[in-house]
Amino acid sequence: MTREILRRLELLNQLSLTEEEKESVMAFFDAREADAACLESIDTSEVERMVHVMPIMTVVREDVVSQPYSREELQRSAPETDEGYWCVPRVVE
């Protein structure tokens, strides 16, 4: 883990870490990378790719419309609504 990669991850995750947190996160990532390197040393060229950790497949539903919730119910916990919209801090200048 480098300072540059960490800076990019901070940006992507919209985080602002303190110097202390940065040290701790970098140590954590270095340890995980070591774990990954350990796994990578195993030859998996003959192993079929696993698509999911659970050996089960999804169920599907039919294409039928239902609308059991009202807007008022859904917006009850919203910090702010206006004219039926959820309101968030302005995202364009």
Partner 1 sequence: MRYETVIGLEVHVELATKSKIFCSCSAHSYGAEPNTHVCPACSGMPGMLPVVNKRVVDYGMKAGLMLNCDINRITTFDKKSYYYPDLPAAYQTTQWFAPVAVNGLVEIETSKGKKGVRIKQIHMEEDAGKLVHDIREDTTHVDFNRTSVPLIEIVSQPDLSSAEEVEAYLERLKNLLRFARVAECEMAHGTMRCDVNLSVRPEGSDKLGVRTEMKNMNSVEAIKRAIEYETARHIDALENHTEILVQETRRWDDIKGKSYAMRSKETAGDYRYFPDPNVMPVQIDDEWFESIKSSLPEFPEVKQKKYEEALGLSSYDAEQITRSIALCECFEAAYAVTGNAKDAANWMISEVMSILNARQMTYDQLTLDGRALGELIKLVSDGTVGRANGKKILAAMFDDTAISPKIYAETNGMIVSNDTGLIEKTVKAAIAEAPKAVEDYKNGKEKALMAIYGKCMKELRGNCDPQVLKTILIDMINQM
Tally the residues of the chain: 93
**41 binding partner 1? (CB under 8 A):** no
Size of the site for partner 1 (CB under 8 A): 37
**87 binding partner 1? (CB under 8 A):** yes
**51 binding partner 1? (CB under 8 A):** yes
Helix (H) or strand (E) holding 25: helix 19-40
- Phi and psi at 69, nearest 5°, equal -110, 140
Measured CA to CA in angstroms, residue 2 lies from 7, 9, 23, 30, 92 at distances of 9, 11, 11, 9, 32
Question: For partner 1, which stretch binds (CB under 8 A), given 17-25, 32-40, 81-89?
Answer: 81-89
Binding residues for partner 1, rule: CB under 8 A, are 8, 12-14, 51-54, 56-69, 71, 74-75, 80, 82-92
